[in-house]
Structure 1
Amino acid sequence: MRSDIIKPNVTKQLLFAIVGTFIAAIGVRLIVVSGLGADAISTLVLGILQHVPWKFGTVSMLFNGIILVIIFFYDRKMIGFGSIINSFGLGFCLNILDWMGILHTIPNGTGYLSIIAGSIVFGIGTGIYLLADAGSAAYESLMILLKRVLKSSVKVARIILDAIIFLAGFLLGGHIGFGTLIVLLLMGPSLEFTLNHLPTMKFFRVREAK
C-alpha cells in the first residue's frame, strides 16, 4: 500500500520567510513614521530609543534575539530557520530602509493614510512569513510560552503580552495614540485574510506530497 509523505518545499519556505519579513518591515516603517502610535513591539522599541543612541532596527534585533535565547532554553522545537530570519531580518530590513533614506518622512496630512496602509502591509507580510511554516517568530514564541505558563487561551495570552509590552514602552517614553487602535483593528484582519486566501493558490503551499 502506497502512502504519500508530506514534505515541505524548503525553497518556498526560505522565500516566504525572507519576502514576508521584508514586507512586514515596510509595514512597521509606515506605522512608525505616521507618528500616531504603533504596534506593541514598536512602542517598546521607540521607548527604548529615548534612552540609547541606536537605530530602530538594531534595538528590534536585540529584543528579538533576547527572546529567542529564552525560547531556545524553554522549548527549542519552536525555533526554526524562519525564526532566525524573521527575528533578525526584520531589524536588518528596517536598518536598510533607514540607510537608504526610505520612509524617513511622509507628506503632511498623510499620517492616518500611512498607519492604515502600514497596518495592512504589516499583516500581509506577517501572514506570508507564517505561511513559510519554518519556525515561530520571537514574539509569537513568547506568546506561546506565556499561554503555557498561564494555562490560558491564545487570545488571552496575546492580550496580556501586548498589554505588558505596551505599558513597558509607554513608561520608557514610547507614544501610544489613536493610531495604536488602528493597528490593533487592521493588522489582525489583514493577517487572517492572508492566511485564509493565499494558501488557496498552489504557489503559496509549502508542503507537498512526495
Structure 2
Amino acid sequence: MANFKLGEGKYTVRSIAVRVVVIMVGVFITAYGAAAFITAVLGSDPVTAFVQGLGKVTGLSFGNAMNVFNAAFFVVVLILNWRTIGIGTVLYTFTLGTFADIFIRWINAAIGLEPSMGFRIGLIVTGTIALGIGLGLYQAAGLGAGPSDAFNQIMARKLKLQLRWWRIIFDVIMVVGALIMGGIVHAGTLVGMFLVGPVLGPVFNKMSPVVNKWAGNEDLVHEEL
C-alpha cells in the first residue's frame, strides 16, 4: 500500500482517510461552538469576536467573514512557511465558516432571535465545550494546524517567544480589532479566552493516541498539550 509523508508521520491512504473524517467531525463541532457564541450575544472568544466585527464592516455573514479571515491567514502562512500547511489546514480554512452559518440559522430557528438569558448562558456553556472538543479533535488528527494557529506558531518562532505569550499578544490584537469593527466583547470573551483551552488540552491528549490507533499509526507519538 502506498505511503505518504504528511504532517508528523508517514501515512497510508487509510490513515489519511481516517484523519480527514476526524478533522471534519472536529470542524463541524467547532462550527457549532462559534455559532453558539455568536447567537448568545454575550461576547465571543477573541477570534470569533474579530470575525463578527469583520462581518459587520464588510456586510458578509459571519460564516463568510470567517472564511475570508481564514483564507487571509492561509495566504500569509503560505508565504511565511508553506510547510506548516496540511490537508487539515485546507479543510478548516474553507469549511468552518460554511458550517457556522448553518448552525446560526438552526439555532435562531430553534430559540428565536431574542432568547432568554438562560438560553444565552446555555449557549455560552455548550459553545465553550464544543470549541474545546472540536479543536481538540481537529488537532489530534495531525494533518496541519488551522491557518491562524499556524500563523501564531510561525510568529512565536520568528520572535523567539513562547507560544503562550505570543497568543496573548494575538488575542489582544483580535479584541482591539473586534472593538473597532463592532464585534461584541463581553463576558463570553473572557470565557472563550480562559476556558476553551482547559477543555481542548485533555481532548487532544486523550484522542491523539486513539486517532493514531484507528489510523494504523500506533507508533506515532504526539507531544501532549
Q: TM-score, normalised by structure 1?
A: 0.89
Q: Spell out, residue by residue over 1:99-129, the C-alpha distance to the aligned partner (whole angstroms, 9 max, x if none).
A: xx31126431221121011011111000100
Shift in Å at residue 50 of structure 1? 2.2
Share of identical aligned residues, percent?
A: 27
Shift in Å at residue 142 of structure 1? 1.4
Kept after mapping to 2: 8 A contact 1:21/1:129: yes
Q: TM-score, normalised by structure 2?
A: 0.84
Partners of 2:123 and 2:26 lie apart in 1 by 19
Partners of 2:204 and 2:127 lie apart in 1 by 18
Instruction: Report the counterpart of residue 116 of structure 2 in structure 1.
Output: 108
Q: Spell out, residue by residue over 1:61-114, the C-alpha distance to the aligned partner (whole angstroms, 9 max, x if none).
A: 01110111111111110001110101111012123334xx31126431221121
The answer to whether 1:196 aligns with 2:205 is yes
Q: Which runs of 5+ in 1 are unaligned?
A: 1-5
Q: Spell out, residue by residue over 1:38-81, the C-alpha distance to the aligned partner (whole angstroms, 9 max, x if none).
A: 01111111112222221111110011101111111111100011
Kept after mapping to 2: 8 A contact 1:13/1:133: yes
Kept after mapping to 2: 8 A contact 1:24/1:122: yes
Instruction: Report the counterpart of residue 135 of structure 1 in structure 2.
Output: 144
Partners of 1:201 and 1:209 lie apart in 2 by 11
> Residues 204, 28 of structure 1: CA spacing in aligned structure 2 closer, same or farther, 3 A cutoff?
farther
Relative contact order, CA 8 A, sep 6+: which one is greater? 1
Instruction: Report the counterpart of residue 37 of structure 1 in structure 2.
Output: 43
Partners of 2:213 and 2:133 lie apart in 1 by 13
Instruction: Report the counterpart of residue 181 of structure 1 in structure 2.
Output: 190
Q: Which runs of 5+ in 2 are unaligned?
A: 1-8, 221-225
Amino acid at match of 1:23: I
Shift in Å at residue 136 of structure 1? 1.3
Kept after mapping to 2: 8 A contact 1:71/1:78: yes
* CA RMSD, 1 decimal: 2.1
Amino acid at match of 2:94: F
